[in-house]
A and B are shown apart, each in its own frame.
Chain A
Amino acid sequence: MNRNSLLFASVFVIGFSACSTSEPEPAQPYDNGVLVINAGNFLDNNGSISLLQRNSTTGSYDIFQKENSRSLAGGLSGYAEVNDKGVILVDNSTAGKDLIEIVNARTFKSVATIPSTDIENPRAVVKASDTKAYVTCWDATGDYSNFYKNPGYVAVIDATTNKLSKKIPVQNGAETIIVVGNEAFVGNTGSGKTQVSVIDITTDAVKQQVEVGRNPHIIGLDANNKLWLYAGSELVKFNPQTKTAETRLKITSSNAAKSPSSFILSADKKTIYYTYSFYDPADDYKQKGETYSFSIDATVIAADKPFINRLFSGGLGVDPQTGIIYAGLVPSFKQAGYVIRYQSNGTLVDSVKAEIAPSQFFFKN
């Protein structure tokens, strides 16, 4: 924008706001639709965000690059919004180069960058309140013999100042996080830790650690306000008020080699979808599996009848508006992946090209 057009724009804005303050704000390009968080390929540091419209089969690609004329410098591990700000977790393959990019969620223009010195291995982000986001981090990792060598932390991002305000130490391998009322529950991956950390949002401090089971992965809050976790190879229905596990169910299957992932709650929060797969040694270690579902009221979780007879390695999402299931398909990490959409009854809707490794979905209005 040159100086004249800038002048013109400011005059226009002043005139506009002076004359008609009651008009609604002008629509912005990223007000609506579904953001696809493409993780990228690890050493290529080429994570990106695409925008899909609910009623269209073409996407807008790498919208951060498009709006800011620079790319996100790493893989992507998460996205969340705090009011009108988007928080993007950038995980570079080189230790000490991770970042958090903060954008205007409606225009995707960069607002601020939280530097590498503040953040290492960000894994998940959640809106903690109207003024802050919580970001789980592994901190620096070790080699394969002791990968999660450091305790994790939850970085508190002040959405007003766009700065890191605090690091709350939690268990090693901190990953999934959910906010329930005034508490945030933090799970972990890989490190073998068995307790969920409970953070008091008002004080930004861990107030309690609750034994749940090995590597607790938080799935979400169901229609009955029960927290679901996958921990110790069991699905755990957990009461976030009393901090006790109410039921523990194992997935029953004829194939003991299979393991579940990508758990997600349906729009009505009464069904949980998940993928269930294994590498078949009898077929050159081909990955095989399907997508299953179970009811939150189930007393037995039997993976016998697939909900969708297909496996998605890229992650699942559910549109709270429509109940449509978004499934990320990753053919390889050196090509664009696809988002395959299904109705909540499992009927295929369509398929949309995304970018490298579509892994998470963020549903806008």
Chain B
Amino acid sequence: MHSYAQKEQSLCEVTVRGVRPERFMVGQKVQDIDSTQLTRFRYSTLADFLQFQSPVAFKSYGPGQATSIAFRGTSANHTAVLWNGININAPSLGQSDFSTIPLAGFDQMSIQYGAAASCVGTDAVGGSIQLRSVPEFRNTGLQLLTAIRAETSENYSAQIGFRFNRSLSDYWKFSGKTMLYGSVFNNHFSAEPRRNRQGDTYSFEPTQTTQKGIVQDLYWQHYKGNLLTLNIWLTDNNLTIQPQQPPLQEVTRTQAYRVLGSYQLGKTLIRTGFIRDLIDYSKGENAVPSHTQIDRFILRTEHDFSWIRDCEKGTNLKVGAEVVHYNALVDGYGNEVIRENRADFYALLRHQFSAKFSTSLNLRQALVTRFSPPFTPSAGVEYTAMTFKNAKIILNGNASLSYRVPTLNERYWVNLGNPDLRPEKGFNKEVGISWKQRLTSNNQMQLTINGFHNLIDDWTYWNPDRNYRVENLQQVLSKGIEISWNLKAQWAKTQFDALLNYGLTHSSQQKTYGPYTQDFIGKQLIYVPRHALGSTISATRGKASLTIQQQFNSKRYVTFDHSGRPFAPYYLLNAILNYQIHKRNFRTDIAIQGSNLTNTVYPNLKKNAMPLRTVSLNVVLYFQSKKQSNES
């Protein structure tokens, strides 16, 4: 299955310029997130939003605190997070803190399930999250946006931005987006500990997080289609634990500067970028923070070849190379700047025999200073087995090898890092079946079932037996079934959009790696729920809409041997009621949002309580200089 995309594009349409890498992930599950949802939850962080959209699990240290992903039962550094095709995981940790990525920072998002190293590169072992900025050349003129949010937990957010599009000459169009956002999360819930139904009591950790950022996207498009792009995204996230008591404070500041310049010249893409990741951690008053600064200089070039026989038959080939230079200045690595170069060479081939039958074969070889990543091919197939008047049944399969370049911490941390680590190697196989049913011209239903089997060998482990030196010790098998059901339907003037997700994940150790590890074999990995259910249901009628988000996670073990008390299952319910008011060139969206409406008490990794019920008022004011904005 390629995607939940409402419109299936023909080969001719997609091959005009560069083909998106997801096109080559034949046989894999790629879920495009509805842009309406991105707009509606514009104040959310990626962590808060994604858990309702897909059966991925998150491991959070608390609201506004480090939150990492466990995608299909893998660990935090097995998910590639890509922004405009570039991996933005922090190189020191090999993962992204999803609490520091707000939805306001990008325009489109896709979730790609399963290993995709050949298309994406390192880290895409469990899956990848693709964030994209896209030009808007349809609306001319200027659109302004001002948004504020106030939540009962004393969390406040504000956003201001504009989009514009104008013709510079007969040959060039100029479009862009500027967005400034800021939030203060005070997370005031309760001074007293709260007890859940299972009798676990959790208290609240006093924290404050401030988040601010700037997005600047500029696009110059030539009438022949060539596109010059500049994307800038600066983020600044400051977490303070014990904000009211300076002697006890712990402050973690995470900043990122991300700049990309791209030129799409016909079927050739040249992309150059600079990313700086900064982490400063300090404890107590007037402390000198420990400092991590990692710079990346990126140069990528790609060319798309195509041999199209007709709009249903043909071959696409993307050949590319990327070179990245790393400069890492990290206190834990000693006083030296660690420098390394990485190169990736890839060839992505997709052949479509007919509208019903597509295959892909993708190859990637990465090269890293002082390290040898494996060659990672993948192959996929997608076949429409049955076609009815308004329905079809599609079968798909994919097999991919994956790898992970160990993080800089794992390789360079003084004494504990291990420069001799081998790459983690994954072998992911999956099959799926989709039933797509068209209801009316704009309405459809889709049911998809996927099964996966992902064996990851040489999984690294900070070994307590060796004073926490990192070693390639573990072998993990993650397998499971995912069911997703998507509906777009209209009934009695009300438009319904529903997305239901269920994931059954069993992820466990396969081999012993030392004394006292034998009883881990076959046991579910820590913090990975066996059952995860998520749903987003919207009903829109006229100018009003109601969206309900639900999530259920089954119990999560916190120890390898399942000793002690696991975290209890929990259920979350959010609702957002939105009303639009139009007046001339203005539109106002007023929303009341309730989060955790059942007031569920559930813990984070530190065994502190996660947010209780809150209610917020969200107001967004749009101004459109010419015609009505398309945003909703």
When A and B form their complex, which 6 residue pairs have the shortest distance between CB atoms, in order from nearest? A331-B516, A95-B248, A336-B563, A70-B201, A335-B561, A96-B248
* Distance between B558 CB and nearest chain A CB, rounded to angstroms: 6
Q: Report Cα–Cα, A71/B565, bound state, in Å.
A: 10
7 contacts between A and B (CB under 8 A): A45-B606, A65-B565, A69-B199, A95-B248, A142-B284, A143-B283, A333-B464
* Distance between B332 CB and nearest chain A CB, rounded to angstroms: 10
Q: Are A94 and B241 in contact (CB under 8 A)?
A: yes
Q: Does A287 contact B (CB under 8 A)?
A: yes
**Residues from chain B with Cβ under 8 Å of A70 in the complex:** 193, 195, 199-201
**Residues from chain B with Cβ under 8 Å of A353 in the complex:** 563
What 7 additional pairs, Cβ within 8 angstroms, besides A43-B606, A65-B565, A142-B287?
A: A45-B607, A140-B248, A287-B466, A331-B514, A335-B561, A353-B563, A356-B559
Q: Are B284 and A44 in contact (CB under 8 A)?
A: no
**Residues from chain B with Cβ under 8 Å of A176 in the complex:** none
Question: Interface-forming stretch among A130-138, A177-185, A257-265, A278-286?
Answer: A278-286
Q: Does A332 contact B (CB under 8 A)?
A: yes
Q: Are A334 and B559 in contact (CB under 8 A)?
A: yes
Instruction: Select which of B415, B467, B469, B560 is within 8 A of A334 by beta carbon.
Output: B560
Q: Does B206 contact A (CB under 8 A)?
A: yes
Q: Does B579 contact A (CB under 8 A)?
A: no
User: Taking beta carbons and an 8 Å cutoff, which residues of A are in contact with B?
Assistant: 43-46, 48, 61-62, 65, 69-71, 73, 93-97, 120, 140-146, 149-150, 279, 284-287, 329-336, 338, 353, 355-356
* Distance between A87 CB and nearest chain B CB, rounded to angstroms: 20
Q: Report Cα–Cα, A48/B418, bound state, in Å.
A: 33
Majority SS at the chain A contact face: loop
Instruction: Select which of B199, B250, B469, B515 is within 8 A of A284 by beta carbon.
Output: B469
**Residues from chain B with Cβ under 8 Å of A150 in the complex:** 247
Q: Are B606 and A285 in contact (CB under 8 A)?
A: no
**Residues from chain A with Cβ under 8 Å of B290 in the complex:** 143-144
User: Taking beta carbons and an 8 Å cutoff, which residues of B are in contact with A?
Assistant: 61, 193, 195, 199-203, 205-206, 241-242, 245, 247-250, 281-284, 287-290, 415, 418, 464-467, 469, 471, 514-517, 520, 526, 558-561, 563-565, 605-608
Instruction: Select which of A142, A284, A335 is within 8 A of B520 by beta carbon.
Output: A335
* Distance between A325 CB and nearest chain B CB, rounded to angstroms: 20
Give the nearest-CB partner of B561 in chain A: A335
Q: Are A335 and B241 in contact (CB under 8 A)?
A: no
Instruction: Select which of B242, B281, B606, B607 is within 8 A of A95 by beta carbon.
Output: B242
* Distance between B580 CB and nearest chain A CB, rounded to angstroms: 43
Q: Are A62 and B206 in contact (CB under 8 A)?
A: no
**Residues from chain A with Cβ under 8 Å of B515 in the complex:** 331
**Residues from chain B with Cβ under 8 Å of A93 in the complex:** 606
Instruction: Select which of A95, A143, A332, A333 is within 8 A of B287 by beta carbon.
Output: A143
**Residues from chain A with Cβ under 8 Å of B418 in the complex:** 284
Q: Report Cα–Cα, A48/B558, bound state, in Å.
A: 14
Q: Are B242 and A94 in contact (CB under 8 A)?
A: yes
Instruction: Select which of A65, A95, A144, A335 is within 8 A of B563 by beta carbon.
Output: A335
Instruction: Select which of A95, A279, A287 is within 8 A of B241 by beta carbon.
Output: A95
Q: Report Cα–Cα, A327/B250, bound state, in Å.
A: 35
Q: Are B467 and A96 in contact (CB under 8 A)?
A: no
Q: Are B565 and A97 in contact (CB under 8 A)?
A: no
**Residues from chain A with Cβ under 8 Å of B467 in the complex:** 279, 285, 287
Q: Which of A46, A94, A287, A333 gathers most chain B CB within 10 Å?
A: A94
* Distance between B175 CB and nearest chain A CB, rounded to angstroms: 46
Q: Report Cα–Cα, A186/B230, bound state, in Å.
A: 64
**Residues from chain B with Cβ under 8 Å of A97 in the complex:** 203, 205
Q: Report Cα–Cα, A62/B559, bound state, in Å.
A: 15
